[in-house]
């Protein structure tokens, strides 16, 4: 469980990992890809920008559909090469059913990437704004590329919760 951070793993490697889990749990696998606002900053690095995250999600989704896709390991604007899965007959990875790729987004640009490219949106409340605001950003992203979010567009929110025993004070 957790969010796959773009800046910590190459997109083809991420797709391979997702497809490997899908071989173990077919039909029960999905991935959540995020910019790394926590993970990257812990290492003193900047999170992945929206443009690079969009490209990352595009590559991962194409590979999981079994397509050959142009991939630039250096990020958008660098030299790209065709990549695809090989050895599918060995059953180390599984592409059927195709795993969904959701986008974790707490800012409006990441939420727009979830709408224009992702199969779903994961947002942390309250950092990511209200759920209504997050979905508005995702819908704006979808509209920008001529997409309407489907009725089965998966959404999830991470929320903080404090559980106390009956009569237990907040300061315990």
What is the model's pTM?
Answer: 0.90
Q: pLDDT tens, 12-59?
A: 999 999 999 999 999 999 999 999 988 899 999 999 999 999 999 999
pLDDT > 70: percent of the chain: 99
User: What is the structure's pLDDT at 1?
Assistant: 55
User: What is the structure's pLDDT at 32?
Assistant: 96
User: What is the structure's pLDDT at 90?
Assistant: 82
Q: pLDDT tens, 76-110?
A: 789 999 999 988 888 889 999 999 999 999 999 99
Kindly provide the b/e burial profile for residues 119-152, where b requires at least 16 CB atoms within 10 angstroms of the residue's own CB. Answer: bbbbbbeeebbeeeebbbbbbebbeeeeeebeee
User: What is the structure's pLDDT at 74?
Assistant: 86
């Amino acid at each position: 469980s957790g969010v796959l951070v773009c800046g910590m793993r190459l997109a083809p490697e991420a797709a391979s990992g997702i497809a490997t889990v899908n071989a173990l749990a077919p039909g029960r696998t999905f991935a959540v890809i995020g910019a790394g606002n926590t993970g990257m900053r812990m290492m003193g690095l900047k999170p992945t920008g929206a443009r690079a995250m969009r490209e990352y999600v595009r590559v991962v989704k194409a590979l999981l559909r079994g397509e050959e896709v142009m991939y630039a390991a250096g990020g958008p604007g660098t030299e790209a090469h065709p990549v695809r899965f090989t050895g599918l007959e060995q059953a180390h990875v599984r592409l059927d059913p195709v795993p969904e790729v959701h986008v974790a987004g707490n800012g409006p640009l990441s939420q727009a990437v979830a709408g224009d490219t992702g199969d779903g949106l994961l947002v942390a409340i309250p950092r990511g704004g209200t759920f209504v605001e997050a979905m508005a950003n995702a819908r704006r992203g979808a509209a920008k590329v001529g997409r309407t979010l489907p009725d089965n567009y998966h959404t999830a929110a991470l929320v903080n919760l404090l559980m106390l025993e009956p009569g237990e004070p907040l300061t315990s």
